[in-house]
Amino acid sequence: MSRQLWLWKLDDNTIITAIPSRANGMTADTLLETIRQGNLDILTTPNDLIKRILYETVSFLDEFRWAGLGNHILDIFEGEIATETDREAGFFKNFSSGNWSPNNVNGFIQEAAHCTYRVRDIRDELHLLRQVFETQARVVADFAAIFWPSSAPGSQKQGNIASKDLRESFIRDCGLQSLIQRVRRMESDASTTLEGLSTIIQAMQAQASLKEAEQSRFLNLMILPFTIITVIFTPLSFLTSLFAVNTLGFPHNDDGELRLPASWFSWRMVVGEVSSLLPLGLLVLLIYFWYGNESGEFYILRRDSTFFNFNG
């Protein structure tokens, strides 16, 4: 949450300053106390007091850092970005090691998604901070333009140069431009980290799909022998059960018992087996070529789109 400090100059002897109250005081009370204890007795004019209040407000967090009482807020965000960037590098390291399986890849993807959320939150906070610093920079520039105007009626050239130097020196001492540039660099670093996280998440998802496809292929290879045996022996089992039926069309002995001679039985078994396998084989070939054409068209579409191919 950002706070605002309001400042009014009513006349040459009256200056009013206030900070709107919040439920959480944060550092506002400390800022007012810092201004009160800032050797105000050495100031001689109201303009000097206004200048002191403005400078103390803008550079307040830097003074805390210089005194060893805390970190600048940008140092905290910079450390967080460095931590998340290190996590991103860890994701790439783990991914390149190849220690992946469908059982644990979902956990890595979820962790990378949480990292993405944290980096996005940091980037949004930096955007708000940059807006605050840019607003402060405009206030400082307007203040300097009022107190040290670039030109005045009847002023001399030497006086204009001195006013310009004082104005530029005050704006430079506030250090807001360097803070704005630093925030922009940090926003760029956060965006780069987000791009890397997006890439590694896509790589993880593609790798997980490949792992699952490889497992499905292995299971299909395991099932293939059983399928072949089933295809061969199912017609034989059917014919065997068929020839066991005691019908008058089958050979019988003198006692009326079913007896099938080997020569009579064998060629009928062969014909029945071939008659069963030929239509089944044609059906399998038809399905294979139809599926192959469909897969080829799908592959062409995937190649025309943005798609990453990962081997492994």
CA 182 vs. chain centroid, Å, equals: 23
Q: Which sign does the torsion angle of CA 75, 77, 82, 87 carry?
A: positive
36 and 127 part of one domain:
yes
159 and 79 part of one domain:
yes
What pLDDT is attached to residue 298?
A: 42
Asked whether residue 72 is assigned to any structural domain, the reply reads yes
Mean pLDDT of the chain: 76
161 and 219 part of one domain:
no
Cα pseudo-dihedral 11, 25, 130, 167, rounded to 10 = 30
* Greater pLDDT, 113 or 70: 113
Mean pLDDT of 61-69: 56
110 and 245 part of one domain:
no
* Greater pLDDT, 68 or 270: 270
Both structure tokens of 239:
């014919």
179 and 262 part of one domain:
no
Q: State which of 178, 213, 248 marks the end of a domain.
A: 213
39 and 172 part of one domain:
yes
What pLDDT is attached to residue 230?
A: 81
Q: What is the pLDDT of residues 224-254, one digit of tens each?
A: 888 888 877 777 787 777 777 777 777 777 7
Q: State which of 166, 196, 213 marks the end of a domain.
A: 213
Report d(CA 224, CA 187) in Å as an integer. 55
CATH number of domain containing 38: 1.20.58
Domain that holds residue 130: 6-213
Asked whether residue 290 is assigned to any structural domain, the reply reads no
Residue 255 above 60 pLDDT? yes
202 and 233 part of one domain:
no
Q: What is the pTM of this model?
A: 0.54
163 and 191 part of one domain:
yes
What pLDDT is attached to residue 70?
A: 54
Asked whether residue 252 is assigned to any structural domain, the reply reads yes
Give the DSSP letter string of 208-251.
HHHHHHHHHHHHHHHHHHHHHHHHHHHHHHHHHHHHTS--TTS-
Mean pLDDT of 265-290: 82
Q: Among candidates 215, 24, 25, which has minimal Cα distance to 103? A: 215
Q: What is the pLDDT confidence band of residue 308, given thresholds at 50, 70 and 90? A: very low
234 and 95 part of one domain:
no
Asked if residues 31 and 57 have their Cβ atoms less than 8 Å apart, the reply is yes
What pLDDT is attached to residue 27?
A: 64
Q: Among candidates 100, 70, 78, which has minimal Cα distance to 209? A: 100
What pLDDT is attached to residue 99?
A: 61
Asked whether residue 286 is assigned to any structural domain, the reply reads no
Mean pLDDT of 79-91: 89
Q: What is the pLDDT of residues 172-209, one digit of tens each?
A: 877 888 889 999 999 999 999 999 889 888 888 887 78
Mean pLDDT of 114-138: 89
What pLDDT is attached to residue 306?
A: 44
What pLDDT is attached to residue 98?
A: 65
195 and 227 part of one domain:
no
What pLDDT is attached to residue 243?
A: 75
* Greater pLDDT, 301 or 234: 234
241 and 186 part of one domain:
no
Beta pairing partners, 9: 15
Cα pseudo-dihedral 36, 41, 44, 50, rounded to 10 = -10
Q: Which sign does the torsion angle of CA 20, 22, 26, 29 carry?
A: positive
Asked whether residue 1 is assigned to any structural domain, the reply reads no
168 and 246 part of one domain:
no
Number of domains comprising the chain: 2
* Greater pLDDT, 303 or 161: 161
Asked whether residue 112 is assigned to any structural domain, the reply reads yes
What pLDDT is attached to residue 183?
A: 92
* Across 22-31, 151-160, 234-243, least confident range: 151-160
Asked whether residue 311 is assigned to any structural domain, the reply reads no
Cα pseudo-dihedral 213, 215, 217, 223, rounded to 10 = -150
What pLDDT is attached to residue 102?
A: 54
Asked whether residue 294 is assigned to any structural domain, the reply reads no
Residue 212 above 90 pLDDT? no
